[in-house]
Chains A and B, each alone.
Chain A
């Protein structure tokens, strides 16, 4: 099958590479939370800008798919626009900003506020996949620690937080345990989004291009955020509500509106906020 951009294959990658990636993804799905190494390809975007997620998406996308791409929760951030147009160009797929219409959602740093459904796939862009990395820099050692479930050191870090700050001071990329086995980094999503990963009906795929790892959380898989019995995991809360749609249950971005430090808070998920605003307008008109 030829793509719409002359000179390149459908969805950019050659079919052999896609087969390799699909095999890796299948393995990742079979071992939830386990980081499967793969032969990363240079993509026409820089590493750190979503090359892992893009390779995952490229290997699973088909002509009937509908793609949504978000960065920081929004569809109109520059990098999301750039990735979306890449797939529109190389795979000729339909794109959408509406979460419920998408078959594949590629994301950087957020999980959509609207609940995902069975059959949808959420593809995360991952900068650093290894949850043990800051505690142990050697790959040879971290792989062994995963193999042997030697995870005590993760709690040492949480212990230190509580001892120093009276609370667990990790606010994003908060480590989780998948299917009661592997410790996993959820990518730098806010911990606000962590509970959405647990028992989610959608398939969650994680791609780290520069670090050459793919991992997965299959549908309806247990995902537990690490904590202590007497210091349970909790998510961010805001006193404010969204200035545009009034939501009190969404992750809010802080917008500085003047040089005197005036601020307002709005939903980071532009699709969710837009729907709520439309509903409000409709209500007001009635």
Chain B
């Protein structure tokens, strides 16, 4: 008797029900709340916001909960949501020079105006499991001395310091009246402008960029990087309403910025000077920002007269493969039925085998 292997509405509904049960887990264990995720899994939240291209910690927390902690799935949820949102305005460029800095380090100068600020970092922690965290603890009273607000001192960017001597290539703002590529509205085309590249990288998968950035350090498109500056903190987002003579702030967002400084021996058209790679993420995303900066610099090879030879320098390769939605969807689509194609191949392989067998028989008969 022929039993249909094809699924249907009922199978899908049953699968969804099972998924909901698995997501909830043991009902004896209290259900996660969004504030818990937002506050206590904040780095997961910021990654989902960055690659999901939507700054909304609460929705990111919801996506993480719904995706059972699968961040790539959560990013997908957030992106599918954001694509339906109307646009009210385009913000002015954020000014990270005016950032309310909570962390700021430079690997190029021992001391910099404004100082180095270690901030909340995993760096220099010993990666020992802290068994004290296994049980919830009562909240300690805030330390009065440390919570004393620091006197705001100006923190010029390290890039600006190097720039004064002409040692670092200037970052010229493009023609501001020219329309910017917007990857959420237009397809990528090649050669891609730097703004399109940075957009793609900012939304790109952290793991992919990390490995590519790492590969440049190991010699696959080496570009001699120094971490010029990494800064993390809050910046104001401003818009310029047409009817007002001045911009107005609409809120603050937390970002991490990485200015990679790369030595450069000069080319036919450019003098020896330091060049840049740039990385920016929502929230605290140092690893991603640094990887992005390495890959950004690697992708500038043609512009700087370097011969592209490695994967990280290959614009089409990097930009076509960095998006986790595209990659995850296409890899996993192999789960969809391919009966028809497989049947076509079966028919052909059988025919070819028969042909080959007949040829062998004929040969043996001779």
**Touch test A–B (CB under 8 Å):** yes
Residues of chain A at the chain B interface (Cβ within 8 Å): 8-9, 12-14, 37-44, 46-49, 51, 71-74, 76-79, 81-82, 85, 108-110, 127, 137-140, 165-167, 169, 171-173, 188-192, 210, 212-213, 236, 238, 243-244, 251-255, 257, 264, 266, 268
A264 partner residues in chain B, CB cutoff 8 A: 2
A188 partner residues in chain B, CB cutoff 8 A: 338, 340-341
A140 touches B12 (CB 8 A): no
* Contacts A12-B84, A78-B7, A78-B8; A71 near B344 (Cβ below 8 A): no
B339 partner residues in chain A, CB cutoff 8 A: 72, 253, 268
Q: Give complex CA distance A67, B79 in Å.
A: 27
B360–chain A nearest beta-carbon distance, Å = 14
What 10 new A-B contacts, CB under 8 Å, besides A79-B337, A172-B345?
A37-B187, A48-B332, A78-B12, A81-B9, A108-B336, A109-B338, A210-B326, A212-B187, A238-B347, A253-B339
A100–chain B nearest beta-carbon distance, Å = 22
Interchain residue pairs with CB less than 8 A apart (22): A8-B84, A39-B185, A42-B76, A42-B79, A46-B325, A48-B333, A48-B336, A51-B329, A77-B6, A78-B11, A108-B336, A109-B340, A110-B340, A137-B316, A138-B316, A139-B316, A172-B341, A188-B338, A212-B187, A236-B347, A244-B2, A255-B5
- How many chain B residues touch A (CB < 8 A): the figure is 49
Of all chain B residues, the one with the shortest Cβ separation from A169 is: B348
Q: Give complex CA distance A127, B8 in Å.
A: 23
B187 touches A46 (CB 8 A): no
- Max chain B CB contacts within 10 Å: which of A38, A42, A109, A257? A42
Decide if B188 is an interface residue (CB 8 Å cutoff).
yes
- Max chain A CB contacts within 10 Å: which of B187, B190, B320? B187
B329 partner residues in chain A, CB cutoff 8 A: 46-49, 51, 210
Shortest beta-carbon contacts, A-B, top 7: A48-B333, A47-B329, A46-B329, A171-B344, A212-B187, A78-B7, A48-B330
B156–chain A nearest beta-carbon distance, Å = 39
B340 partner residues in chain A, CB cutoff 8 A: 72-73, 109-110, 172, 188-190, 251, 253, 268
Of all chain B residues, the one with the shortest Cβ separation from A138 is: B316
A39 partner residues in chain B, CB cutoff 8 A: 184-187
Interface bits B305-339 vs A (CB < 8 Å: 1, else 0): 00000000000100010000110111111001111
With contacts defined as CB atoms under 8 Å apart, how many contacts are there between chain A and chain B in the complex? 143
Interface bits B227-271 vs A (CB < 8 Å: 1, else 0): 000000000000000000000000000000000000000000000
B80 touches A139 (CB 8 A): no
Decide if B189 is an interface residue (CB 8 Å cutoff).
yes
Q: Which of A37, A49, A190 contacts B336 (CB 8 A)?
A: A49
- Max chain B CB contacts within 10 Å: which of A41, A243, A251? A41
B347 touches A171 (CB 8 A): yes
B54–chain A nearest beta-carbon distance, Å = 11
Of all chain B residues, the one with the shortest Cβ separation from A46 is: B329
Q: Give complex CA distance A236, B350 in Å.
A: 12
A137–chain B nearest beta-carbon distance, Å = 8
Q: Give complex CA distance A39, B182 in Å.
A: 9
Decide if B343 is an interface residue (CB 8 Å cutoff).
yes
A240–chain B nearest beta-carbon distance, Å = 11
B98 partner residues in chain A, CB cutoff 8 A: none
Q: Give complex CA distance A189, B341 in Å.
A: 7
A192 touches B6 (CB 8 A): no
A190 partner residues in chain B, CB cutoff 8 A: 340-341, 343-344
A173 partner residues in chain B, CB cutoff 8 A: 341
A253 partner residues in chain B, CB cutoff 8 A: 339-340, 343
Q: Give complex CA distance A138, B317 in Å.
A: 9
Q: Which of B82, B190, B343 contacts A254 (CB 8 A)?
A: B343
B301–chain A nearest beta-carbon distance, Å = 16
* Contacts A79-B336, A82-B12; A191 near B188 (Cβ below 8 A): no
Decide if B142 is an interface residue (CB 8 Å cutoff).
no
- Max chain A CB contacts within 10 Å: which of B6, B316, B340, B352? B340
B84–chain A nearest beta-carbon distance, Å = 6
* Contacts A251-B340, A268-B340; A85 near B2 (Cβ below 8 A): no
